[in-house]
């Protein structure tokens, strides 16, 4: 695992994109502050760039570096979540402009999965995480289901967890308004 993390960090620092395991499904990732790398992911996924992607962080304490005002309820949701939870926050900051949604929001998930958590910690920046598929295709629940076009379109493929056949699922998604109101996007 450590060798994969080192190689993935090196690729991310050079502006590359990676295919890696997360706390949910396999993801395509890059430096969330690098507009060119993010554009490459949109092109690889054949995805409209008006559909924003989420980012992973390894620690809730880092949220305030990327969200203008973190609603108080966010801390409770993060603490109480019993499965991976992506929270969409208003007022994204310090991220690439083409990653932020047109309304100024960003989806952020605090990962607790060992590989993605350590990768975020060592990279010292948020990492884009979007499903490892072409837009419109179903999300792969294991590495073996990832299509050849995606595999060929990235700069590095993490070997850790490739042989796992567990059926991973995407995270729950909620949108938090500045007033603390919650809208459930995906359970």
Give the model confidence (pLDDT) of 33-51 as tens digits: 999 999 999 999 998 877 7
* Distance (Å, whole) CA 68 – CA 159: 36
Phi-psi domain of 3 (left: phi exceeds 0; alpha: psi -120 through 50; beta: other): alpha
pLDDT at 1: 86
pLDDT above 90: residue 134: yes
Neighbours of 90 (CB within 10 A): 19
pLDDT above 90: residue 169: no
* Distance (Å, whole) CA 185 – CA 187: 7
pLDDT above 80: residue 180: no
pLDDT above 80: residue 168: no
pTM exceeding 0.75? yes
pLDDT at 70: 94
pLDDT above 90: residue 101: yes
Between 158 and 162, where is the model more confident?
158
* Distance (Å, whole) CA 69 – CA 88: 12
Domain coordinates of the chain in residue numbers? Answer: 2-186
Give the model confidence (pLDDT) of 49-73 as tens digits: 777 899 999 999 999 999 999 999 9
pLDDT at 45: 95
User: Cα 33 from chain centroid?
Assistant: 13
* Distance (Å, whole) CA 75 – CA 32: 22
Instruction: Give all strands (DSSP E) within 26-121, no chain letters.
Output: 27-29, 54-57, 85-89, 106-110
Between 142 and 8, where is the model more confident?
8
pLDDT at 170: 82
Mean pLDDT of 145-152: 95
Average per-residue pLDDT for the chain: 93
From the options 3.40.50.170, 3.10.150.10, 3.90.870.10, 1.10.1660.10, give the CATH code of 2-186: 3.90.870.10
pLDDT at 127: 98
Place of tokens 């500045």: 178
Give the residue among 171, 125, 133 at the shortest CA–CA distance from 153: 133
């Amino acid at each position: 695992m450590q060798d994969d993390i080192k190689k993935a960090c090196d690729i991310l620092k050079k502006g590359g994109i990676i295919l890696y395991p997360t706390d949910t499904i396999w993801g395509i990732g890059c430096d969330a502050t690098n507009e060119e790398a993010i554009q490459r992911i949109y092109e690889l996924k054949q995805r409209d760039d008006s559909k924003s992607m989420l980012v992973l962080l390894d620690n809730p304490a880092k949220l305030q570096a990327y969200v203008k005002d973190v609603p108080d309820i966010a801390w409770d949701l993060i603490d109480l979540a019993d499965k991976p939870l992506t929270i969409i926050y208003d007022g994204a900051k310090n991220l690439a402009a083409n990653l932020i949604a047109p309304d100024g929001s960003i989806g952020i998930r605090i990962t607790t999965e060992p590989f993605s958590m350590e990768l975020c910690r060592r990279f010292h920046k948020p990492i884009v995480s979007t499903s490892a598929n072409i837009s419109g295709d179903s999300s792969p629940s294991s590495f073996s289901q990832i299509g050849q076009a995606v595999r060929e379109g990235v700069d590095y493929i993490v070997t850790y967890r490739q042989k796992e056949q567990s059926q991973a699922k995407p995270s729950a998604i909620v949108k938090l308004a500045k007033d603390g109101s919650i809208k459930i996007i995906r359970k």
